[in-house]
Amino acid sequence: MLEDVECLDVLLGRFAYRYELLDEAECFVRAKSFAEDVIEFPQGMFEDFDAEDWRIFERMKGRIRSYSTYEDTALVFPLAIKEHIDHFIVREAAAQVACETEKVSKASFYFMEDKPFRQYVYRAYPERMIDLAFTHYPSQVEEIFKTGILLRGEALRRAYHTGAPSDQLYRYIPAL
């Protein structure tokens, strides 16, 4: 939490955002299976859910549905790269709520990475991202992250023919 707040203060400005603790059981404590990868993490998808995961999923949908009623609000969700179970729960809850509330939602839904929504490519600052991550999230970063962040910015620069490292963001656009 302290890592999140410190980083968000730098990125958005103090008091310019809302941060909540949701008090859900941490996925590590729930003993999810670990991926066999350079970086260990608890993975899972719907087929891995137990009864508690489904209850968390429904609670998350309720929270997101409530947030969707806020005007002038951007809701940004992770895309569960490599299926981190906690990210997966949030992403899928958000996707379902975005579809269910598309006619009445006042907030905008954004998903980072590869969802099939309207895409925005923007100038990235990989060195700044690395600095922020390693400064504010020391418990969550590993040296290999630096390589991934640098390579991603460069790969997207080449893919989109931009003059600088790039990243992308996707926005959910309700059907008309």
Give tens-digit pLDDT for 23-56: 776 655 455 565 565 555 566 788 888 888 899 9
Predicted confidence at residue 113, as pLDDT, reads 59
User: Does residue 7 sit within a domain?
Assistant: no
Give the residue numbers spanning the domain of 137: 120-169
Residues 109, 154 contacting (CB under 8 angstroms): no
The pTM assigned to this predicted structure is: 0.61
Given 98, 115, 132, the domain boundary residue is 115
Q: How many domains does the chain have?
A: 2
Indicate if 76 and 153 belong to the same structural domain: no
Indicate if 73 and 146 belong to the same structural domain: no
Indicate if 125 and 103 belong to the same structural domain: no
The whole-angstrom separation of Cα 34 and Cα 65 is 30
Indicate if 34 and 100 belong to the same structural domain: yes
Indicate if 75 and 127 belong to the same structural domain: no
Given 95, 115, 135, the domain boundary residue is 115
The answer for residues whose C-beta is within 8 angstroms of residue 119's C-beta and 6 or more apart is 168, 169, 170
pLDDT lower than 70: segments of the chain: 25-43, 80-83, 113-117, 173-176
